[in-house]
Amino acid sequence: MTKIQTRIALVALVAILAALALAGWANQGVGEATPSPSSQASASADTSADASASPSESPSGVASPSTTGTSYLLTVTISGAGNAVVQSTPAGINCPTNCSARFPAGTVVTLTALASAPTGGYETHFNGFSGACAGTTCTIQMDQSATVASSFALIPQFATLTVVKSGPDAGGLFISSAVPPNSSTGIYCGPTCSASFQIGTTVTLYPVQAIGTVFTGWSGACTGTDLCVLTITGPATVTATYSSAP
């Protein structure tokens, strides 16, 4: 091989190696092409559309109510009677034990006033509601926290005690709260008398013997010959019997 042929072969070999190196560099850039302006615009539009979606909507388009989990406080007060009760439907309020409760927004709550059994000579009377309700009934929709006042009154209860005297020339009789009775603390009875006393009052009946008569005893709400002492729990009748002195 001549020198000229050798040089030509070397030049060809260098050219081949350069071509192979160039082809390898080109293959590494495959899949990393710079996005075209049109694809960039499309992606920007999609992002803008997502950002402009309403906050109350999820990406799936389902609404998310803003009141989910919201509740409001209802408070009840009671005045005028310690034995009164106010309850709610649905359950939650049972005042005076539990006088406040939270209810989900939109809940319709009905309050009911209950008077306990009469005690200590008084019965409980419900006057009405005030505040978020007015009148003797209360139904309220919980759109905000609210306070309802309930007013009661204690009304004294009375019962009648009737006293009957029997026997010839029956003597006098005092109905009194004091022993011995007198005109300022008792009621003097003729043949028959009655008086009204508040429930729970302790009353004493004191027989007064007229000349020529003897007291022989009680019957009815009292018995025996001692003083008649009774506590008024309702209407009652006592008979005092006399006889002629021997």
DSSP state of 56: T
Residue 46 in domain: no
One domain for residues 135 and 168: no
Least confident of 37-51, 88-102, 197-211, 212-226: 37-51
Task: Please tell me the total count of domains within the chain.
Answer: 2
pLDDT digits (tens, 9 = 90+) for 79-116: 998 789 999 999 999 999 999 999 999 999 999 999 87
One domain for residues 172 and 130: no
List the one residue out of 25, 21, 109 whose CA is nearest residue 71: 109
One domain for residues 97 and 108: yes
The mean pLDDT value of the chain amounts to 77
Least confident of 54-58, 78-82, 227-231: 54-58
One domain for residues 144 and 171: no
Its domain, for residue 205, covers: 158-244
Burial (CB < 10 A; 0-12, 13-18, 19+), residue 52, is exposed
Residue 35 in domain: no
> What pTM, to 2 d.p., does this model score?
0.54
One domain for residues 182 and 113: no
Residue 112 in domain: yes
pLDDT digits (tens, 9 = 90+) for 14-52: 666 666 665 654 455 444 444 444 444 444 444 444 434
